[in-house]
Amino acid sequence: MPQQDPASLAAGVLITLAFFLLIGYIVRSMLRTEVAAVRIATTLIALGSVMVALPAILYALLG
């Protein structure tokens, strides 16, 4: 595996952390309001789908 530039590695880590913070914020804001559990589950499934695609997106952006 070739050496990665430290700046690109740091960018990947920051993008990943920002994504997890976004998920946490969305879930917290949905739990504050009285939203049906089905809507929360649907949102989490959609965010999970994006999370599965995140490594490929990061590879395309940074690789």
Query: Is 1 domain-assigned?
Result: no
Distance CA 45, CA 29 (A): 16
Phi and psi of 52, rounded to 5°?
-65, -35
Full residue range of the structural domain in which residue 25 is found: 6-62
Write the CB contacts of 51 (distance below 8 Å, at least 6 apart in sequence): 19, 23
| Domains identified in the chain, total number | 1
Q: What is the pLDDT of residues 20-59, one digit of tens each?
A: 888 788 777 777 776 666 777 787 888 888 878 877 887 8
Q: What is the DSSP string of 21-39?
A: HHHHHHHHHHHHTT--HHH
Query: Is 27 domain-assigned?
Result: yes
Confidence label for 9 from pLDDT (cuts 50, 70 and 90) = confident
Contact between residue 40 and residue 27 where contact means Cβ atoms under 8 Å apart: yes
pLDDT at 52: 84
Say yes or no to pLDDT of 18 above 80: yes
pLDDT at 1: 52
Query: Is 11 domain-assigned?
Result: yes
